[in-house]
Structure 1
Amino acid sequence: MRIVLVGPPGAGKGTQATLLAAKLGVPHISTGDLFRANISQQTELGKLAKSYMDAGNLVPDEVTIAMAKDRMEQPDAENGFLLDGFPRNVSQAEALDEVLNTESIKLDAVLDLEVPEAEVVKRIAGRRICRNDSAHVFHVEYKPAAKEGVCDVCGGELYQRDDDSEDTVRKRLEVYHTQTEPIIDYYKAQGLVVTISSLGPVEEITKRALEALKREDDDK
């Protein structure tokens, strides 16, 4: 299957993308991974992207699209892929359609992870990270440390990242509503959107998504 995954920050896209891609046997293609891979491998696109980033500028859509196109043409993506973080706006969605049409390929579904805004704020603003190891992540409500402010794993200090503050989260949500959310209507017009709730245990959300995608596939 060829799937685009969308949803607001805090919806669990990264987690679900990894699990769903493994279940479906397709590569998980995220913009973050694309940038890191191209920059570390010093590809021409990576060098170009880095030049914009080093100057403090946003990487232009055409560079991101070129990276995504190159990744989707790799052998492991021949039978499908799961796009996470791309397209990020309607112009990128239109460009993706052009790329796929050139290859006579069509998307199978756009999976929309729906979560109330209050829950997004609670999920992100409650997150605490270990200063010694950023892989040690806790949450003041959902996964509290045994001792407040202290990592259960290594005893390091737990802190809230600047971009996890409530004010920053609300600004990120504004950007999502303005730039990314319109792609849902764009894809709804093509009959591709499958919306599921992103509330509940991780495994339950994955099961919900797989069932919804299967129904979508069966209906075609």
Structure 2
Amino acid sequence: MKLVFIGKPGSGKGTQAKILSKKLKISHISTGDLFRQSTGEFSKLVHSYIDGGNFVPDDLTIKMLRERILKEDCKNGFIFDGFPRTLPQAEMLEKEIKIDYIIDVHISDEEAIKRMSGRRICKKCGELYNLNTNHIPKKKNMCDKCGGILFKREDQTSEAIKKRIEIHYKEVKPILKKFNPIIINGEQSIDKVTEDILKILE
């Protein structure tokens, strides 16, 4: 099964992709993770876009994803998390890959800002926390899993978040019109969002 999850920053699409990739036994491909973990010739370029709250250009994104889906763990399917983000990306996707479902995890702008501003990440293991939701670390600024230090990414300042939402409207809206995705209410509990998505996939 090949799925696409789209949504505003902070919508929970990454959380849902992670949960459902385990349930469905398919790979979770997050463009955000792919970019942040990039090494080699494109690493500095990729990070310069991300740290400024901008999207990585289409040609670079597409090249990295083409290489990723050729790996063995994608042979049974995958979930694209955060791709496509632009119309050219969407057109490439339509041309090269048959996607079974495109799901838009929808939240309001206010909810996106609230969630993103509270995000913290463990420097050691990458575990995500959120000070504005129910996923708060037991000890302040310390990861429950490994004891690592939690930090706030540079692209999660209030200005960077607002900029990312503006870019989302500008670049993602044409994709919504083109593909007419299935819309899921992302402001429900994590379990309820998962349940709603699984009903669609049945």
TM-score range, shorter chain: 0.7 to 0.9
Question: Which has more radius of gyration?
Answer: 1
Looking at structure 1, the residues matched to 143 and 27 of structure 2 have their Cα atoms a distance apart, in angstroms, of 31
Give CA-to-partner distance per residue, 1:74-97, whole Å, 9 cap, x none: 333223211112211011111122
Looking at structure 2, the residues matched to 134 and 75 of structure 1 have their Cα atoms a distance apart, in angstroms, of 24
Return the offset for 1:50: 2.8
The equivalent of 1:114 in structure 2 is 106
**SS state of the match for residue 171, structure 1?**
helix
Q: Are 1:50 and 2:43 counterparts?
A: yes
Q: Are 1:84 and 2:72 counterparts?
A: no
Aligned residue identity for 1:2: K
Contact 2:5 2:82 in 1 (8 A): yes
Gaps of 5+ in 1: 101-105, 215-220
**SS state of the match for residue 66, structure 2?**
helix
Return the offset for 1:151: 3.7
Looking at structure 2, the residues matched to 52 and 80 of structure 1 have their Cα atoms a distance apart, in angstroms, of 29
Q: Are 1:66 and 2:63 counterparts?
A: yes
Looking at structure 2, the residues matched to 153 and 172 of structure 1 have their Cα atoms a distance apart, in angstroms, of 27
| Residues paired across the two proteins, number | 195
Contact 1:194 1:213 in 2 (8 A): no
**SS state of the match for residue 188, structure 2?**
coil
Q: Say if 1:151 and 1:164 are closer, same or farther in 2 by CA, change over 3 A.
A: same
Looking at structure 2, the residues matched to 31 and 82 of structure 1 have their Cα atoms a distance apart, in angstroms, of 11
1:121-136 equivalences under 5 Å are: 121-127=113-119, 135=127
Looking at structure 1, the residues matched to 27 and 128 of structure 2 have their Cα atoms a distance apart, in angstroms, of 26
Q: Say if 1:62 and 1:144 are closer, same or farther in 2 by CA, change over 3 A.
A: closer
The equivalent of 2:191 in structure 1 is 203
Q: Say if 1:98 and 1:153 are closer, same or farther in 2 by CA, change over 3 A.
A: closer
Using the aligned pairs only, state the percent identity: 35
Gaps of 5+ in 2: 50-54
Looking at structure 2, the residues matched to 132 and 65 of structure 1 have their Cα atoms a distance apart, in angstroms, of 29
Looking at structure 2, the residues matched to 157 and 28 of structure 1 have their Cα atoms a distance apart, in angstroms, of 25
Q: Say if 1:173 and 1:60 are closer, same or farther in 2 by CA, change over 3 A.
A: closer
Return the offset for 1:63: 2.8
Contact 2:142 2:150 in 1 (8 A): no
Return the offset for 1:175: 0.8
